[in-house]
Homo-oligomer: A and B are copies of this chain.
Amino acid sequence: MTEAVTAAILVIGDEILSGRTKDKNIGTIADHLSAMGIDLSEVRIVPDVEAEIVAAVNALRSRYTYLFTTGGIGPTHDDITADCVAKAFGVGIGEHPEAIRMLLERIRPEDLNEARRRMARIPDGAELIRNDVSKAPGFRLGNVIVMAGVPAIMRNMLDNVTPSLQGGDRMVAEAVDAEGLPEGAYAAGLGALAKAHPGVSIGSYPSFSPDGFRNQIVVRGKDAGLVAAARSAVVALLAGLKGDGVPA
């Protein structure tokens, strides 16, 4: 078993906090990291305010193996992520020749105005992340991966940066449907079972529809044998119970 590889996500954008735009990137990145065995440990959403972004970048990059940011790397005045990341690291920032070359794959030289050149401003020491959708690159500085906020571009950048990331032992997750049993009927037994299986985490997740609750118990862990043993114990627990007609 290797050491745990952890990550945080920092979503940067007033438009998410106002409710105007609904974030789709957190779920995409969470799924991607799970598949790589990287444990997503924290997410934050902050506004387009320099002090907030710098503080969050520094809090999260010092704590987790990787920090993924989304948003704020376009050409307009509210796109301040690259400058904030440079400030968080205490490094300079300037036009990156390779980023200019990437922009010129899509923009004629006479149209590469000052605003568009802003998209080539990259903190000193960063490596570019290719953007096959609209060319303006993301970048990686140390353990911080800076990506666009537009979901299609973010996904492309995430794919492009992935070969440079270290994966971890993959999390194995096994779901058991509670088959109509209410949480309150199995909660005590499940709590005891969780204590008896310390190598895994066991969660109970209700969802609610017009038909009533549907509960799933999920056993997660990095040791497939421990997960399988705990799953068997959950199945045995549920088989010994019956519903008491209470829907919760």
Binding site for B on A (CB under 8 A): 11, 14-23, 26-27, 30-34, 39-48, 52, 74-78, 106-108, 111, 113-116, 118-119, 133-136, 150-153, 171, 173, 183-188, 190-191, 194-195, 201-208, 213, 218, 220, 244-248
Residues of the B chain whose Cβ atoms lie less than 8 Å from the Cβ of A203: 14-15, 48, 76, 78
Q: Given A30-B18, A75-B184: A106 and B246 within 8 A (CB)?
A: yes
Residues of the B chain whose Cβ atoms lie less than 8 Å from the Cβ of A107: 184, 246, 248
The answer to whether B17 and A191 have CB atoms under 8 Å apart is no
Q: List 14 A-B contacts (CB under 8 A).
A: A17-B39, A18-B173, A19-B40, A20-B173, A23-B26, A76-B203, A77-B187, A77-B194, A106-B246, A114-B188, A115-B188, A116-B248, A133-B208, A134-B208
Q: Counting chain B CB atoms within 10 Å of each CB, which of A23, A45, A48, A188 scores highest?
A: A45
